[in-house]
Amino acid sequence: AQSVAQPEDQVNVAEGNPLTVKCTYSVSGNPYLFWYVQYPNRGLQFLLKYITGDNLVKGSYGFEAEFNKSQTSFHLKKPSALVSDSALYFCAVRSPGSARQLTFGSGTQLTVLP
């Protein structure tokens, strides 16, 4: 079985401050991990993914995520938040040994306050 948890429904951060959106996962074997962002009334947009290699993955719009195998986490980070980063963020996981497709987390609403 594969699952992903986003423990925070809502994250608020002041503009210019660093932001972190948390994600933990459970899979058999090494995971494939993804972050997506959803702006109001839009579909999801891909931000970044971890398949193999460096634990720090850089993605679109200045976002990055760190894969931590021992803590089974893949937290999304950005050094300096923008008001325009306010959106709904989804973490997703897939086990490479499985025929299952992606399993998504429940989402975290990020609000960046001016």
Partner 1 sequence: DVKVTQSSRYLVKRTGEKVFLECVQDMDHENMFWYRQDPGLGLRLIYFSYDVKMKEKGDIPEGYSVSREKKERFSLILESASTNQTSMYLCASNLSRTGRVGNQPQHFGDGTRLSIL
For residues 13 and 48, which CB has a smaller minimum distance to partner 1 in the complex? Answer: 48
Q: Which amino acid is at 106?
A: S
Please, what is the minimum distance in Å from the beta carbon of residue 94 to partner 1? 7
CA 46 to chain centroid, in Å, comes to 10
Residue choice 27, 105, 110, 112 for contact with partner 1 (CB under 8 A): 105
Q: How far apart are CA 67 and CA 24, in angstroms?
A: 10
Please, what is the minimum distance in Å from the beta carbon of residue 13 to partner 1? 21
Tokens of residue 21, six digits: 């959106």
Residue choice 31, 65, 107, 110 for contact with partner 1 (CB under 8 A): 107
Residues 6+ apart with CB under 8 A from 18: 77, 78, 79, 80, 81
Tokens of residue 46, six digits: 């891909």
Question: Which residue has tokens 């195998």?
Answer: 69
99 is a contact residue toward partner 1 (CB under 8 A): yes
Number of residues that bind partner 1 (CB under 8 A): 25
For residues 15 and 88, which CB has a smaller minimum distance to partner 1 in the complex? Answer: 88
Give the footprint of partner 1 on this chain (CB under 8 A). 6, 9, 32, 34, 36, 41-46, 49, 51, 90, 94, 96, 98-102, 104-107
